């Protein structure tokens, strides 16, 4: 095989209290073609001009990791990506790059790695599993490290759940955002999050959507991160007023996500209007949850 094309979905991590352990895939995709030949990286669409076009590019990291795992020598490749996942906005663009690179590298090396291995490699590169797991498997996933490797399981979601996204224009660097979080958490705050993450999984699995507003509350990361996002409170309030069942910061932000089960147009309107009044530039879109993860669409 000399060339492979894969698609990979956007993901939203944390879902409020599930910091570093819960995430879900969204129906918004990047497409990547890796072809044997002179090294070149061509990025079209989201992130064009900002995503590194040298070996720092996380797609290259993914391909290299797959070849290392396979024990095969790494040939030179050219990389062409067409991106719809907004870059550096808390929608899993880094994970998408790592996971798509791993799958492409897995096929091009002939290693044909299984999903468990791709998860191990991807989560080791990223450092946490909550974006890479749903990017690989689709749907809503829990990810934990058992001291040896990464384990994931799915959370069943109610049908027809959507995500209304307000995507600000500015970028947030996840590494910096993580570094700014406190190292120590009080027992009271741990209990606060534990209860809510249990409630979140239970309410999603059992379609108890009336509990989501409480279940997505968090004291571990959102209070610190949201302070740096202009309009956060107003946009969140507006999404709830419009009918969102639960509203949270997507990953490390700046995207604000309202989970909906109907009323999407109203929620979109209210969020966009609140952002306009708060003078925060950005766009509002509705995307369904994706039950599919990374996939190969062409090989030759």
Phi-psi region of 232 (alpha: psi -120 to 50; beta: other; left: phi over 0): alpha
- Beta carbon of residue 19, minimum distance to ligand HSE (angstroms, whole number): 6
* Tokens at 248, concatenated: 């949270």
| The one among 128, 141, 196, 219 contacting ligand HSE by CB under 6 A | 128
| The one among 4, 10, 13, 235 contacting ligand HSE by CB under 6 A | 13
Q: What is the contact mask toward ligand HSE in residues 30 to 59, using x (rule: CB under 6 A)?
A: ------------------------------
13 or 34, CB closer to ligand HSE? 13
Is 193 an interacting residue with respect to ligand HSE (CB under 6 A)? no
203 or 252, CB closer to ligand HSE? 252
- Beta carbon of residue 142, minimum distance to ligand HSE (angstroms, whole number): 13
Is 69 an interacting residue with respect to ligand HSE (CB under 6 A)? no
251 or 254, CB closer to ligand HSE? 251
Report 239-258 residues binding ligand HSE (CB under 6 A).
251-252
Give the residue among 215, 183, 208 at the shortest CA–CA distance from 15.
215
Name the CA dihedral angle for 287, 288, 293, 295, rounded to a multiple of 10 degrees: -70
- Beta carbon of residue 207, minimum distance to ligand HSE (angstroms, whole number): 26
Which of the stretches 58-66, 126-134, 149-157, 162-170 binds ligand HSE when contact is defined by CB under 6 A?
126-134
Interface contacts to ligand HSE, rule CB under 6 A: 13-14, 19-20, 90, 128, 130-131, 174, 178, 221, 251-252
């Amino acid at each position: 095989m000399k060339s492979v094309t894969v698609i990979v979905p956007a993901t939203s991590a944390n879902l409020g209290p599930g910091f570093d352990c819960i995430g879900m895939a969204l129906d918004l995709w990047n497409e990547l073609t890796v072809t044997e030949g002179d090294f070149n990286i061509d990025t079209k669409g989201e992130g064009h001009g900002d995503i590194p076009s040298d070996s720092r590019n996380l797609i290259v990291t993914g391909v290299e990791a797959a070849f290392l795992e396979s024990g095969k020598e790494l040939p030179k490749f050219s990389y062409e990506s067409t991106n719809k996942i907004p870059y550096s906005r808390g929608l899993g663009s880094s994970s998408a790059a790592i996971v798509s690179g791993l799958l492409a590298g897995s096929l091009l090396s002939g290693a044909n790695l299984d999903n468990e291995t791709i998860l191990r490699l991807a989560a080791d590169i990223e450092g946490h599993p909550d974006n890479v797991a749903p990017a690989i498997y689709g749907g809503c996933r829990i990810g934990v490290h058992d001291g040896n490797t990464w384990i994931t399981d799915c959370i069943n979601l109610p049908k027809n759940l959507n995500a209304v996204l307000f995507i600000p224009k500015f970028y947030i660097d996840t590494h910096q955002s993580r570094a700014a979080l406190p190292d120590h958490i009080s027992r009271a705050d741990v209990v606060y999050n534990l209860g809510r993450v249990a409630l979140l999984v239970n309410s999603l699995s059992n379609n108890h959507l009336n509990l989501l507003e409480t279940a997505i509350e968090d004291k571990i990361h959102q209070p610190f991160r949201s302070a740096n996002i202009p309009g956060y409170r107003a946009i969140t309030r507006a999404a709830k007023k419009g009918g969102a069942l639960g509203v949270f910061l997507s990953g490390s932000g700046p995207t604000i996500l309202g989970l909906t089960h109907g009323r999407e147009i109203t929620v979109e309107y209210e969020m966009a209007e609140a952002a306009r009044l708060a003078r925060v530039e950005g766009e509002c879109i509705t995307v369904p949850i994706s039950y599919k993860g990374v996939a190969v669409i062409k090989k030759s």
